[in-house]
Amino acid sequence: MTIKQDVTNLILSSDPLRPQAHFLAPYGWMNDPCGPIYAGGKYHLFYQWNKDAAKWGNIHWGHAISSDLIHWKHESTALFPQKNGADKDGVFTGDVVDVDGKTAIALYTGFRLDKPLKQVQCIATSDIEMIKWKQEPKPFLDVAPDGLEIDGFRDPRVWRENGKYVMILGSSIKGKGGVVFRYEGTDLKHWTYKGVLYGPSKLRGTDDDALECPDFFPLGNRHVLIFSLNSVVYAVIGEYKNAKFTPLSIEKYGHGNIYAARTFLDSAGQRVLFGWITERISQENEALARGWSGTMSFPRILYLTEDGHVGSRIYPTVDSIEGELLIKETPVENIQFIPGCPVHLKISFKTRYPGEILLSGVDTFVCLNYNPGRLGEELYCNGETAPLSAMSESAFIDVYMDASVIEIVTSSGSILNARAYGDVPTSLKISSFGSLKAAICDVNLVAPISKDRLSTAVKGEEKLFCELTSLKQ
């Protein structure tokens, strides 16, 4: 390992804001998850990565492998911008398909600044190990459908349906709004446009109205379309029949600092989601100086709730990193301080009467406000809120605090993500009011997935598998 690598590792491993239990890029900027997939007996997670600095730009695909979706091993960079290719200015978000158990194909958006249509669809091929990829220099799709005037044309998502491949792309039609286009093909290189799956949407974006990172899948007795826009992930729930999607409702999926969510099926056929946990805008310069930005959410299993919403629960293997039990089945009113970080709190309570729980630290403030039958039921954390609707009489919230990352899950299936900066507290003060004084609290330490905060290792391995470059500009 070089002196530069040693220095980089020292900076990252000593950063108290860098999470210890969440997946991270080795260094630099990380955003969208790309093509998560279970294939060949392994989980693969690709992600948008700038290896040069902790800011957006020069986007590659990073790659990591896991056996449990918690402990990860970084592999070499999967996809690069090609000097004379259709992706020469960036390898944007896409999908990965296991073709036959032997071959994997990545479909992704290439970015090129010197063409009228700056976003085109590209392809790369690998064996099922997905370590070495061959990127094709020419795009397989470089024209807008039916001559439409569009803004944005990106983020392919692909699946098999009735013996053929289906691909969706996020875009917007100028003057009309965001859309999700639908294509069909008998292979992964030749596609026929089949119209608009969803839209035009009335939602409006900041730069354009393109519906980013679309994903479409069955859930319970419905189909769900997920897309991202303006720092929000949306879920559209509806019916899908004869290749036509009929929306029934739309809602925010997840709340707070999460974007660009993508799903896949795990080894048991469960629908699992990863999302990009973003930094606060106010922290962009600080992130550049720290040498890293962005982290991945804990994996989540999706389900359709009894009242027809998209619910989430943390993937069960997260339990494997639970450490020492600090507090067991203790009423909140008898607890003043909670030591440690990273830490997992499970707070169980009855929902018959109103009450409130406050959890506070240096730059952390969590408020659970429950007032049954009235307005104002909500979960609040560092400026982010989530509803507390349709909770059963016996309810709970799980609070995961991992350095600057906070994930809160409710028993009704809502998830709130937030960030906490400043000094990471060595203890948290907890207060309770009303009926929630009787809430029962369990507290566990959470074990790091890497001993040095690099989050690069598979259970005990500490070697960094990627080349390290200077992060200072």
Cis preceding-peptide flag for 16 (omega within 30 of 0): no
Place of tokens 């009335």: 202
CB 398 within 8 A of CB 295: no
Q: How many CB atoms lie within 10 A of CB 204?
A: 12
Could you give the residue numbers annotated as active site? Answer: 32
Which tokens is 105 given? Answer: 């194909």
Tell me the DSSP string of 306-344.
TTS-EEEEE-GGGGGGEEEEEEEEEEGGG--EEE-SSEE
Of 154, 135, 147, nearest in space to 82 by CA: 135
Which tokens is 418 given? Answer: 């937030």
- What span, in angstroms and rounded, lies between the C-alpha atoms of 226 and 252? 9
Q: What is the chain's alpha carbon radius of gyration, rounded to the nearest angstrom?
A: 22
Of 155, 234, 231, nearest in space to 201 by CA: 234
Tell me the DSSP string of 391-441.
--SEEEEEEEEETTEEEEEETTS-EEEEE--SSPPSEEEEEEEEGGGG-EE
The alpha carbon of residue 184 and the mean position of all alpha carbons in its chain are separated, in whole angstroms, by: 27
Half-sphere exposure of 200 (CA within 13 A, CB side): 13
Q: Give me the phi and psi of 63, to 5 degrees please.
A: -150, 135
Which tokens is 225 given? Answer: 């379309």
Cis preceding-peptide flag for 19 (omega within 30 of 0): no
- What span, in angstroms and rounded, lies between the C-alpha atoms of 392 and 410? 11
CB 49 within 8 A of CB 30: yes
CB 409 within 8 A of CB 396: no
Question: With the CA atoms of 26, 27, 33 and 37 taken in that order, what torsion angle do they form, in degrees rounded to the nearest 10?
Answer: -10
Place of tokens 């690598």: 5
Half-sphere exposure of 158 (CA within 13 A, CB side): 30
